Amino acid sequence: MAEERVEFELVTPERLVISRGVDMVVVPGTEGDFGVLPGHTPMVSTVRPGVVNVYQGNEIVERMFVAGGFAEVTAARCTVLADRAVAVDELDRAAAEQTLKDAREDLADAETDDERREADKQIAVCEEILRITGS
C-alpha cells in the first residue's frame, strides 16, 4: 500500500513556489491555523499573514511566510494562493521595520477607505514579519 500524502502547492502571482507531496501542511487561516492531512474535508479559507509549515514525517522541512491570500483544500490536495511568499530565513527585518514606518505614515495620510485598507494590510504583514523574526 502506497504511503498517503497531500499534494501541496503554494502559488504567488509571479510563480509556483512549492509543488510536491507532503505528509502535512499547516496554513495560517484567518480564523486560525489549520493542518491538512490526507483525507481532509474539502474547504476554502482566507489566509492571513503568517507562516506555512510543511511537514515530512513529524518534522517541519520548510517554513514559508505568506502575506495573505486563499487556500483550497480537498481530500487529496491543498493549494495556497498567496499574495506573496518568502522563505522564513530570507525575511528582512530591517526592511520590514522601514516598510512598517512608511505604512503607518500612509495610514495617517489616507484619504479614502481603499488607502486605509491597503495601509492596514501592509501594517499587518510587517508586524507579522517582525513577530516571526524576533526582537
* Burial classification of residue 6, based on how many CB atoms lie within 10 Å of its CB (0-12 exposed, 13-18 middle, 19 or more buried): buried
Is the residue at 1 inside a domain? no
Give the pLDDT confidence score for residue 70 in this predicted structure. Answer: 97
> What single letter denotes the amino acid at residue 49?
P
* Burial classification of residue 121, based on how many CB atoms lie within 10 Å of its CB (0-12 exposed, 13-18 middle, 19 or more buried): middle
Same domain? 23 vs 75: yes
User: Which CATH number is 45's domain given?
Assistant: 2.60.15.10
Give the pLDDT confidence score for residue 1 in this predicted structure. Answer: 39
What is the per-residue burial (b if ≥16 Cβ within 10 Å, else e) of 89-114?
Answer: eebeeeebeebbeebeebbeeeeeee
Domain coverage including residue 67: 6-88
pTM of the model: 0.88
Same domain? 61 vs 103: no
CA distance 52 to 68: 11
Same domain? 84 vs 103: no
Per-residue pLDDT in tens (0 to 9) along the chain, 135 residues: 356 899 999 999 999 999 999 999 999 999 999 999 999 999 999 999 999 999 999 999 999 999 999 999 999 999 999 999 999 999 999 999 999 999 999 999 989 999 999 999 999 999 999 999 985
CA distance 99 to 84: 15
Tell me how many domains the chain contains: 2
